[in-house]
Amino acid sequence: MTDDQIRKEQEVIERSKKDPKAFGELYELYFDRIFNFLYRQTDDEELAGDLCSQTFINVLNNLKRYEFRGFPFSAWLYKIASNEVNKHYRKNKGKKIFSIEELKVKELVEQANDGWDEEMVSRVISYMNELPTEMVQVLELRFFEDKDFKEIAFILDITESGAKMRTYRALDKLRTQFNIKIKYDG
């Protein structure tokens, strides 16, 4: 985000703290991103909708406590959304699901056209679903949500070096398993 975008966003946040009706601007701006983030972690549209609603209720209820600390407002939203989905899986004792889109996997992998086919994509997606949750979370935030390591660390309550290390380890597992080149700019 540019400084001007952050400034404008902060103005909307400050208005929203005083007038909940102004919160609609933030809701409209971030709803799709948060919903899709939750949907990829649940693969259930109805559940993602419920978790998204709960996320925005929590945001609205706690907005007065929000302070800009060098992270975009979206990082705070992703953190709350991540907490909601984690709370859901703890409560229901379920295994976390990640619905990874084929297009996003192709973006992640720097692969020459030769040898790249739908079966390879399916194998990569299947393997990613077997990775530990913390690895998939960093891959999702880094590559599918375009978050930097500082934001990932904030969202997942880990250090920035921890976010880099998890990302590197997850990418290394993919590299090793599939002998493919993967983007990494850590």
Q: What percent of the chain has pLDDT over 70?
A: 83
Is 182 in a helix, a strand, or coil?
strand
Task: Please give the structure tokens belonging to residue 35.
Answer: 């919903």
The pLDDT assigned to 166 comes to 92
Q: What percent of the chain has pLDDT over 90?
A: 39
Task: Please give the structure tokens belonging to residue 72.
Answer: 């975009």
Bin 98: left if φ > 0, else alpha if -120 < ψ < 50, else beta. Answer: beta
The pLDDT assigned to 33 comes to 94
pLDDT range class, residue 86, cuts 50, 70, 90: confident
Query: 182: which strand partners?
Result: 109
Domains of the chain: 3-92 (1.10.1740.10), 102-182 (1.10.10.10)
- Examine the pLDDT at 31 and tell me if it is beyond 90: yes
Model pLDDT for residues 95-145, shown as the tens digit of each residue:
666 666 665 666 666 544 455 667 777 787 788 878 888 888 888 888 888
The pLDDT assigned to 182 comes to 62
Is 109 in a helix, a strand, or coil?
strand
The pLDDT assigned to 176 comes to 84
Model pLDDT for residues 146-172, shown as the tens digit of each residue:
899 999 999 999 999 999 999 889 888
Q: How far apart are CA 30 and CA 32, in angstroms?
A: 6
The pLDDT assigned to 113 comes to 47
Contact 174, 128 (CB under 8 A): yes
Q: What is the mean pLDDT of the chain?
A: 84
The pLDDT assigned to 52 comes to 97
Q: What is the DSSP letter of 110?
A: E
> Cα–chain-centroid distance for residue 185?
18
- Examine the pLDDT at 73 and tell me if it is beyond 70: yes
